[in-house]
Each structure stands twice: as structure tokens, then as C-alpha cells.
Structure 1
Amino acid sequence: MDRNRMFWASRRGMLELDLVLLPFLENVYESLEQEDKERYWALLDSEDQDLFAWFLKRTDPEDPELLKIVKIIRDNTGMQID
């Protein structure tokens, strides 16, 4: 996916998600393995409410592939909420 398209797709309707996804995109995304980049692309198709719940560990995605990228984002964006 083109970097500009990914940037705009990472901008969400919730400021809280922008504060998680945009720094992740800027600081971590480029260092990901290709499979994890593809998981991130798939994650962008998720609903904002689901993303918010996943990042705050209220729930986890049922899809194990999405769970992998959610954990990477949690571990790299200060979302280590216990």
C-alpha cells in the first residue's frame, strides 16, 4: 500500500486512535516484517470502536492474524495497559 494512502487510512474518526496509529506508522511500521505490514493493512479495515477496545485490552480480536498486529501496536505505542 502506498505510504500516503496508508497515512490517510490510519487517520481515524477518534483522536485516541490517531494518537496510537499515527506514531506507530511513523516510528515502527517500516521496521515490520512484510507479513506484519499486511496484517496492519487488514487492521485498517476494522471499525474504530473495535480498534479502541483492542488497544485498551478491553477485548481481543477473534482473528489470530489481527491479534498479532494488535499486540505489536500495544507493545510499541505505550498501550501496555494491565
Structure 2
Amino acid sequence: MNEQSPQEAALRKRLYWHSRRGMWELDLLLVPFLEQRYDSLDEADQLAFRQLIDEEDQDLFMWLMRRDWPEDPDRRRIVQLIVEHAESADSIGHRPV
């Protein structure tokens, strides 16, 4: 098991709490993605995720519910990764409760 530096641990806590939006639909997508995929992302995608969670809930909802897509290519890519992760988890019966 890898030890996290105090800075890494603080960043992880911040990401976790910023991923918990208080909107159930967003929580079900963002938190599992953070817990299950974030560490395996390359640096650019990790940065895109950190920037994504600073967005407004209304925008996140529209993007993650596939009602609209972000114009920025990096933001669009991370949204697609999150949506694909949720769909793959759902298809194998690992939908978060």
C-alpha cells in the first residue's frame, strides 16, 4: 500500500468533499469515479477532473446527464470518462448505492 504525503492526503480529501455535491445524481457519478478511476488517470485527466469539480452544479448536471456537452475538449473528455465509468459499473451490476 502506498503512503500518501500530507499534501496528497489533503488533496484527496478536498477532491472527495468537492465531489459530494449534495445532488444525489452527481454524487453517484463523481464519488465512485474519484474512488475507482482517478488514481489511474494521467496527469492531464486528473487536472481536468480537479477543474471539473469547480464547475457549477447545474452545468455538471447537464453534462453528466448527457443533456449537453462541455465546449472545452479537455472538459468534454473527462465528462465522457465519468459517464463511461458509470455506464460500465451499471452494466456489471456495481451501481453505487
TM-score by length of 1: 0.89
Of 53, 67, 74, the residue aligned with 2:62 is: 53
Q: Distance in 2 between matches of 1:53 and 1:28?
A: 22
Instruction: Give the match for residue 72 of structure 2.
Output: 63
Of 34, 39, 44, the residue aligned with 1:30 is: 39
Q: Secondary structure at the match of 2:14?
A: helix
Of 34, 43, 50, the residue aligned with 1:41 is: 50
Runs of 4 or more above 6 Å deviation? none
Instruction: Give the match for residue 84 of structure 2.
Output: 75
Bigger Rg, structure 1 or 2: 2
Encode CA deviations 1:14-57: one digit per residue, 9 max, x unaligned.
11100110111111111100110000001011111111111111
Q: CA RMSD in A?
A: 1.4
**RCO (CA 8 Å, sep 6+): is it higher in 1 or 2?**
1
Q: Distance in 2 between matches of 1:27 and 1:13?
A: 20
State whether structure 2 residue 20 is matched by structure 1 residue 11: yes
TM-score by length of 2: 0.76
Report sequence identity in percent: 48
Aligned length, in residue pairs: 79
Task: List runs of 5+ in structure 1 lacking aligned partners.
Answer: none
- Do the aligned partners of 1:13 and 1:48 also contact (CA within 8 Å) in 2? no
